[in-house]
Amino acid sequence: MRRVLVTGGAGFIGSHLCERLLDQGNDVICLDNFSTSSRHNILHLLQNPHFEVIRHDVIEPIRLEVDQIYHLACPASPIHYQINPIKTIKTSVSGSINMLGIAKRQRARILLASTSEVYGDPQVHPQPESYWGNVNPIGPRSCYDEGKRCAETLFFDYHRQHKTDIAVVRIFNTYGPRMLPNDGRVVSNFIVQALTGQNITMYGSGNQTRSFCYVDDLVAGLIQMMNATAETGPVNLGNPEEYTIQELAKKIIQITGSSSQIIYQPLPQDDPTQRKPDITLAQKKLGWQPTVPVDIGLPKTVEYFRNLLKNQP
Ligand code: NAD
Ligand code: UDP
């Protein structure tokens, strides 16, 4: 049986990944410091004898015996990663060094959950992996963007210097059940606002675009990349369906049947104007492409939040 380490395994994407890896018959170790998640995401897995949880901060070294590592530990929403930006950089840099150390010693294959944010405010559209990006190195998003860029560098240097078996994926905006209702990301914000009759907070004009991938598709892509022997990446994983934030708000208002009104607030600094993955490489190298359109994925996510809010005091 394969021993698989998932750092950030209690988070939104990580908890879905742990679930899928257990279903596929792996022994799964979830390592998390629960800084942006809670045990609720993995409660249903705790009785599984093949599932183990370690409360640990990836910034601190740790020794583990594993065959594969999915390295996801890092705050992902702008609100979370900007609370303590220095810690965010340390998480990406020291955290990656520590996990690469395990991979090197154990000869384990290690996957980095990098991000479309490495493209910054992109001047090439859609974004292929060959694009080097347009990132502000000193702005409020830099702790995340530059942290992930440095993590990518570390992965490739370990590969070149120590022959470490690496896989780097660049994840584009992903949504679905188990997103936190209050972490500030657009899908969860708009759904919670629509369901509770609050104003929908549109930042800027709402003409900026994003491309939204349903979490089940993303998890399939992560596993396919892990299984693509010797493929280093970077490979984009995302759904190329592109929407303006205005269009997203209208869809959510329509799905929820909400009477919430849109209000306009200032656009955060360095907010990317447009974003859409070129997934040619993922299609060619992994045989992967998303299967869940936004019109199917959003109603499922709305259902999740409806239940969550119903059960909250
Ligand atoms: P999340 O915040 O739900 O999950 C991150 C998990 O990492 C949490 O459980 C958190 O407690 C844990 N964590 C954070 N810092 C840690 C540390 N120092 N030590 C140990 N654990 C730590 O976010 P998510 O959306 O599930 O994102 C998972 C990964 O995917 C992140 O690396 C993120 O950068 C990447 N990613 C996500 C998206 C997206 O749209 N969700 C897009 C691009 C990249
Ligand atoms: N956004 C918005 N209202 C919100 C939250 C986000 O208009 O309540 C916008 C945000 O400015 C950005 C887009 O939605 O243009 C996506 O934001 P998110 O934080 O989800 O992801 P990221 O900017 O990291 O892609």
280-309 per-position pLDDT tens digit: 999 999 999 999 999 999 999 999 999 999
Tell me the pTM: 0.98
CB 118 within 8 A of CB 132: no
Determine if ligand 1 sits within 6 Å of the CB of residue 59: yes
Q: Whose CA is nearest to atom 23 of ligand 2?
A: 271
Burial class (CB in 10 A: 0-12, 13-18, 19+), 229: exposed
Q: How confident is the model at residue 313 (pLDDT cuts 50, 70, 90)?
A: low
Tell which phi-psi region holds residue 147, choosing left (phi > 0), alpha (psi between -120 and 50) or beta.
alpha
Q: How confident is the model at residue 140 (pLDDT cuts 50, 70, 90)?
A: very high
For residue 250, is it within any domain? Answer: no
CA 313–ligand 2 middle distance (angstroms): 28
Q: Which residue matches tokens 């390295």?
A: 71
Which amino acid, residue 279? I
For residue 203, is it within any domain? Answer: no
CA 83–ligand 2 middle distance (angstroms): 16
pLDDT in tens, 156-215: 999 999 999 999 999 999 999 999 999 899 999 999 999 999 999 999 999 999 999 999
Is 144 a residue of the active site? yes
Domain that holds residue 103: 3-177+212-239+274-291
Q: Whose CA is nearest to atom 25 of ligand 2?
A: 173
For residue 268, is it within any domain? Answer: no
Pinpoint the alpha helices (H) of the chain.
Answer: 12-23, 78-83, 85-106, 142-162, 186-195, 215-227, 245-256, 280-281, 294-310
CB 145 within 8 A of CB 120: yes
Q: Which ligand is nearest to the CA of 205?
A: 2
Rounded-to-integer distance, Cα 261 and Cα 201, Å = 9
For residue 116, is it within any domain? Answer: yes
Q: Whose CA is nearest to atom 33 of ligand 1?
A: 76
CA 200–ligand 2 middle distance (angstroms): 12
From 81, 119, 144, 158, active-site residue: 144
CATH code of the domain in which 40 resides: 3.40.50.720
Q: Whose CA is nearest to atom 21 of ligand 2?
A: 185
For residue 8, is it within any domain? Answer: yes
Determine if ligand 1 sits within 6 Å of the CB of residue 186: no
Can you give the pLDDT at residue 237? 98
For residue 305, is it within any domain? Answer: no
Average pLDDT over the chain reads 97
Rounded-to-integer distance, Cα 264 and Cα 249, Å = 12
CA 206–ligand 2 middle distance (angstroms): 9
Overall average pLDDT of the 134-158 stretch = 97
Choose the residue to mutate in 15, 36, 45, 186 for probing ligand 1, maximizing ligand atoms within 8 Å of C-beta. Answer: 36
Q: Which ligand is nearest to the CA of 16?
A: 1
CA 238–ligand 2 middle distance (angstroms): 16
For residue 94, is it within any domain? Answer: yes
The phi, psi pair for 161, rounded to 5°, reads -85, -40
For residue 38, is it within any domain? Answer: yes
Q: How confident is the model at residue 312 (pLDDT cuts 50, 70, 90)?
A: confident
Can you give the pLDDT at residue 27? 98
Choose the residue to mutate in 210, 239, 298 for probing ligand 2, maximizing ligand atoms within 8 Å of C-beta. Answer: 210
Rounded-to-integer distance, Cα 243 and Cα 264, Å = 18
Which amino acid, residue 225? M
Domain count within the chain: 1
